[in-house]
A = this chain, B = another copy of it.
Amino acid sequence: MQNFEFKNPTEILFGRGMIAKLDSRVPTAAPVLLLYGGGSIKRNGVYDQIKAALKNRQVVEFGGIEANPLYETCIEAVKAVRSNQVGFILAVGGGSVLDAAKFIAVAARYEGADPWEILRTHGQSIQAALPLGAVLTLPATGSESNGYAVISRKATTEKLAFASILAFPVFSVLDPETTYSLPRKQVRNGIVDAFMHVMEQYMTYPCAAPLQDRFAEAILETLIETGPVTLAEPENYEARAAFMWSATMALNTLIGCGVPQDWSTHMIGHELTAFYGLDHAETLAIVLPGIWKHQFDRKKAKLEQYGRRVWKVKTPEEAMARTEDFLHALGMPTRLGDYKIDAREAAEKVRTRFAERKTRLGEHGDIDPDGVAEVLRSRA
């Protein structure tokens, strides 16, 4: 086991009717910024529950946060925070609204001249943040219980991430019932996203961290068991609750304690989203099998363990096949051809970009730009 530091101060309020607890959690001293996305919360009853819980607060609304939240939009929200002397941000939505709320929270308290510095330094320049809370309506990213955020800048087409202990939500409300009205595709993407978060922290090499391994396998097994159920039965509370809690645990940084991590699938996937506009989860499902094939010799011990424990199969090859079968059963394509994308072209585009940045990926840092191209060509 490697040395590690772990801290996760977010309070989780989980279950039916927990939005009412906002009344005891949101400060009363200053106005609250209510941040949301496209407005689905006004159609599914979540907005009304929140307004009822906050009836004794002054609420400043800011809607329209995009699926890949834009820096430009966040800066408008920062202006609203300042002009209204907002003291607390309540994010209502999925990972995008959460990520935007985190950036707005730190940018509102940033004393430098240019808040883009926060992203350029990946959070190193953060000194303070407004407190923020969340009502999560889309289980997927784990942003409700971590300090990570990804923000895109329209003007320069940059997409940067930052991390800060100050960006953890003070609390997050997770009521599975608020997710019943999600489109099937978003639920499918959420299951795959959570599954991939676990894999990035688990599918590396044995490193004498048996509890972390078993926790990771526990989340994978729960997603495999409840994923198809919650897709087929959106209003099955128990299945949705198990999925929702699994997605949080997948990226609240616990299972990554003391173990090597990979994240190459995410890094390559981000480029496929940038070039072709695929959903984040769609890109991960394409890339992962390619990474496993490319890194087979280095990952085979862990693939064998995963196959034996999670799928009850004997070989790493069977574990890989079962994983793709699982993704297909969720209705998730796993090849570039499924989207009519030319694999050679995609490989060359991503190779060029990584070569410019001198990026090397994987837990051993041994996937070079040519290796990335090889991975993508194998996903035709």
Which A positions have Cβ atoms within 8 angstroms of B? 1-18, 21, 171, 208-212, 214-215, 217-219, 221-222, 225-226, 238, 241-242, 245-246, 249, 257-258
Give Cα A8–Cα B245 distance, bound, in whole angstroms.
16
Tell whether, in the assembled complex, residue A12 and residue B7 are in contact, meaning their CB atoms are under 8 Å apart: yes
Instruction: Please give, as numbers and ranges, the residues of chain B lying within 8 Å of A15 by CB-CB distance.
Output: 1-4, 258
Q: How far is the CB of A303 from chain B (nearest CB, A)?
A: 19
A2 to chain B, nearest CB (A): 7
A258 and B238 in contact, given A2-B15, A3-B15, A217-B218 (Cβ under 8 angstroms): no
Given A4-B12, A15-B258: A221 and B226 within 8 A (CB)?
no
A2-B15, A14-B6, A15-B4 known; A222+B214 contact, CB < 8 A: yes
Given contacts A215-B218, A246-B211, contact A7 B6 (CB under 8 A): no
- 7 cross-chain pairs, A with B, having the tightest CB-CB distances, nearest first: A3-B15, A214-B218, A7-B11, A208-B238, A9-B9, A6-B12, A211-B222
A171 to chain B, nearest CB (A): 8
- Alpha-carbon separation in the docked complex, A1 to B7 (Å): 25
The CA of A17 and the CA of B215, in the complex, are separated in Å by: 26
Given contacts A14-B258, A257-B14, contact A249 B211 (CB under 8 A): yes
CB distance from A100 to the nearest CB of B (A): 24
Contact of A11 among B5, B12, B208, B241 (CB under 8 A): B5
- Closest residue of chain B to A3, judged by CB? B15
- Give every chain B residue within 8 A of A218 (Cβ-Cβ): 211, 214-215, 217-218
- Known contacts A4-B15, A7-B12, A9-B9; 12 additional CB pairs below 8 A are A1-B15, A5-B14, A5-B21, A6-B11, A6-B14, A7-B9, A8-B8, A209-B242, A210-B225, A211-B219, A214-B217, A217-B218
Chain B residue with the shortest CB-CB distance to A171: B7
A–B Cβ pairs within 8 angstroms, 10 of them: A1-B238, A3-B16, A3-B17, A5-B12, A7-B12, A14-B258, A210-B242, A211-B242, A214-B218, A214-B222
A163 → B minimal CB distance (Å): 15
Assembly stoichiometry (copies): 2
- Compute how far the CA of A40 lies from the CA of B121 in the bound complex, rounded to whole angstroms: 45
Cβ distance A226 to chain B, nearest Cβ, rounded Å = 7
Q: Which residues of B contact A249 (CB under 8 A)?
A: 211
Q: Quick check: B6 and A211 within 8 Å, CB to CB? A: no
| B residues less than 8 Å from A214 (CB atoms) | 214, 217-219, 221-222
Closest-CB distance, A18 to chain B (whole angstroms):
6
Chain B residues, Cβ within 8 Å of A258: 14-15, 241, 245
Give the docked Cα–Cα distance between A187 and B201 (Å): 30
Q: Looking across the interface, which residue of chain B has its beta carbon closest to that of A239?
A: B208
A7 proximity list for chain B (CB < 8 A) = 9-12, 171
Answer whether A208 and B242 are a contact pair too, CB < 8 Å, given A11-B6, A218-B217: yes
**CB within 8 A of A3: which of B14, B209, B226?**
B14
CB distance from A26 to the nearest CB of B (A): 15
Closest B residue by C-beta to A208: B238
How long is the Cα–Cα vector from A39 to B260 in the complex, in angstroms?
37
With CB as the reference atom, state the residue of chain B lying closest to A1: B241
Could you tell me the distance in whole angstroms from the C-beta of A338 to the nearest C-beta in chain B?
A: 31
Q: Closest Cβ of chain B: how far from A309's Cβ, in Å?
A: 10
Chain B residues within 8 Å of A246, by CB: 211
Query: Complex Cα distance A8/B10, Å?
Result: 8
CB distance from A237 to the nearest CB of B (A): 8
Instruction: Give min CB distance, A10 to chain B, whole Å.
Output: 7
Indicate which residue in B210, B245, B257 contacts A211 across the interface (CB closer than 8 Å). B245
